[in-house]
Amino acid sequence: MTPIASRRHYPELFHRHEGNPILTANDWPYPAHTVFNAAACQVGDTTLLLVRVEDRRGHSHLCVARSADGIGDWRIDPQPTFPPDPVNYAEEAWGVEDARVTWVADRGEWIITYTSYSPIGPLVSLASTVDFQKFVRLGPVMPPEDKDAAIFPRRFGGRYAMIHDRCRRGAPGPTSGSPSPPTCGIGGITMSSSTPAAELGGTPTRSA
């Protein structure tokens, strides 16, 4: 008898582009070991990737690549766009990784979630930008070990929301959420509307 699963039909939701990979370390204008795990968004008529670039030490930073069609003719920033800043942010001692970007309309800016990595482990940090040239670091919002976060583009019941992946060394945990204390901004699944990220301060940086 044919198993039920074999009789089911699931439509293909995604199709790999026949020209993959569309970007490799060989495309980079400066030495890089590998490039991967990019955040993607549409800025006007331009496809923009915020790419994780691993250097030859194994430390990562973020770099912007732009394309008119999202497939070819990529214009890559000539130097790291968002390098780690371990002097001011010790949690970035081993690099910054795995960005996700969300346009938050009621703030008029992009919110970037990324993983800060250091000897204490990975944790979730936030930054904001309007042009992917200048950035405001908002600092860590979840303690280690935590990563793979993204915020939603709108509020729910007046509160921002973020999904993230709690983990322990060597064993990622299930995606989960938790309430945010009023002083920490975004944390777990919610952020109080009374403490928007702009009120947390942050450090403006020019990285490109």
The string of pLDDT tens digits covering residues 34-67 is: 999 999 999 999 999 999 999 999 999 999 999 9
Q: Domain 21-206 adopts which CATH fold?
A: Tachylectin-2; Chain A (2.115.10)
Give the span between the Cα atoms of 17 and 15, in whole angstroms: 6
CB atoms within 10 A of CB 107: 15
pTM of the model: 0.79
Each domain of the chain, given as residue ranges in start order, spans 21-206
3-state secondary structure of 9: coil
Average pLDDT over all residues of the chain: 82
